[in-house]
Amino acid sequence: MRNLKSTVFLVLSSVLLVLNSHAQNLPIWQQEKELATALKSNSARVIMTHYFATWCKPCMEELPVFDSLNQLNKENVLIQFVSLDLKNNRHLKKKIQRLNLPGNCFYLEPNASIMKDSSFNWDGTLPFTVMYFSTTETSIELAGKHTLQDYLKLMNNNEN
Amino acid sequence: MKTKLFLFFLTIGITSFGQVTITDNFSLKNVDGRMVSLGDFPMAKGFVVIFTCNHCPFAKLYPKRLNDLNEKYTKLGVPIIAISSMDTISYEEDTYLKMIQKAKKEHFNFPYLYDPTQEVAKLFHAQKTPHAFIIWRDGEHFNIVYNGAIDDNGMHPNEVENPYISMALDELLEGKTVSNPETITIGCQIYFRE
């Protein structure tokens, strides 16, 4: 009986350990699934997916723009972040948490498979942003760093 | 560290077939203090030109692979030349002094050249680090015959399926044209000073 209890305890501990270690990582980005979820659960007219990495200086410089965008357009815009950092671990998760991003952050391993699988025309440049306009069902892909004005202008021009 | 002096006689132009040709001349300072150009390599069939830098996490994944490539292909007449064109005002880690330290630490067996004016990166239209080019001799000038990534898996060298540079060089050395002349490269963007 004691043996059985010990075994159960060990199994439960292992399961908790595994669950805990997963919780220490960012969720893996699944483009189709997350876009569909965002469309279903949110009335936002613009869904922005922003690909960045914490090692990428222009990416980090651009991040405050998304705070402003979120403040200005909370009702209309949903922003999702995708980190292409080298390792998805608790250090990355902590780093991302400290950034206080105005949206969920996922992880995508930056290797060749993302180029093969991606449905957009990405040339490998970071930051990279995809703006999806739900009313017109169209999207725009933007490589490199952009300003708040750039994004606002694109929204005005593409929402109708 | 090999300290061969190279003489670059390069400019960039586009032939009627759309192939990018390099015919201008420039010389850059190597980490050993000597000016380096292509011209000292009259026997070279071509060169692998890698735009790289110290700070970029992606560039940091490749020193061993670059040493291995240079070890193999220099003997076959295609040496590697690495160039850092990063803006050292934005990225202190990419200064010339830090390049010297990097080359020592990584035991670079190829020249690591400093492009302070970013002119050479502009000639090649290099956009990121690492960004690889193969230039192949065509009489007095060189044609860019490959432009893109070093291979298809920066993070996991053991899981590389397509070693693009090796594949292209093997084709060229067999007298063939490069079947995959352009690939996408992930890395840190080279920001050009205005």
The domain locations on chain A are 27-158
Shortest CA gap A113–chain B (Å): 8
Q: Per-residue pLDDT for B3 more than 50? A: no
| Average pLDDT of span A121-147 | 89
Q: Spell A55-85 as b/e; 16+ CB within 10 A means b.
A: bbbbbeebbebbeebbeebeeebbbbbbbbb
Q: Are B188 and A125 an interchain contact pair (Cβ–Cβ within 8 Å)? A: no
For chain B, give the percent of residues with pLDDT over 70. 88
> Could you give the CA distance from residue A43 to residue B194 in angstroms, rounded to a whole number?
42
Neighbours of A17 (CB within 10 A): 10
Identify the residue with better confidence: B15 or A140: A140
For the ranges A41-55, B29-43, B94-108, the one whose mean pLDDT is highest:
B94-108
How many alpha carbons lie under 13 Å from residue A32 in its C-beta half-sphere?
3
Q: How far is B42 from chain A (nearest CA, A)?
A: 35
* Beta partners for residue A14, in sequence order: none
Highest mean pLDDT among A104-113, A116-125, B4-13, B179-188: B179-188
Q: Do B153 and A124 touch (CB under 8 A)?
A: no
Mean model confidence pLDDT for chain A: 83
> Nearest to residue A148, comparing CAs of A63, A76, A80, A78?
A63
Which residues lie closer than 8 Å to B25 by C-beta, 6 or more apart? B7, B8, B9, B10, B11, B37
How confident is the model over A99-108, as a mean pLDDT? 95
Say what the pLDDT of residue B137 is.
92
Is the per-residue pLDDT at B77 higher than 50? yes
Q: What is the mean pLDDT of chain B?
A: 87
Structure confidence at residue B10 (pLDDT):
38
Q: Which residue has the higher pLDDT, B17 or B147?
A: B147
- Whole-angstrom CA distances from B148 to B13, B21, B59, B131, B167 are 19, 16, 13, 6, 13
Mean pLDDT of B159-177: 96
ipTM of the complex in this document: 0.70
**What is the rounded CA–CA span in Å between residue B119 and residue B96?**
16
Which value, in Å, is the radius of gyration of the alpha carbons in chain A?
A: 19
Please give the CATH topology (third level) of the domain spanning A27-158. Glutaredoxin (3.40.30)
pLDDT band at A22, cuts 50/70/90?
Answer: low
Report whether CATH 3.40.30.10 matches the domain B12-189: yes
What pLDDT is attached to residue B145? Answer: 96
Q: What is the pLDDT of residues A26-81, one digit of tens each?
A: 999 887 788 778 777 777 889 999 999 998 888 999 999 999 999 998 788 999 99
Q: Which residues contact A102 (CB under 8 A, 6 or more apart)?
A: A66, A67, A69, A70, A79
Chain B residue set in contact with A, beta carbons under 8 Å? 56-58, 90-91, 127-128, 149, 152-156, 159, 161-162, 184-189, 191
Which residue of B lies nearest to A143 if distances are taken between CA atoms?
A: B189
Spell out which residues of chain B touch residue A88, defining contact as CB-CB under 8 Å. none
Q: How big is the A-B interface in CB pairs under 8 Å? A: 48
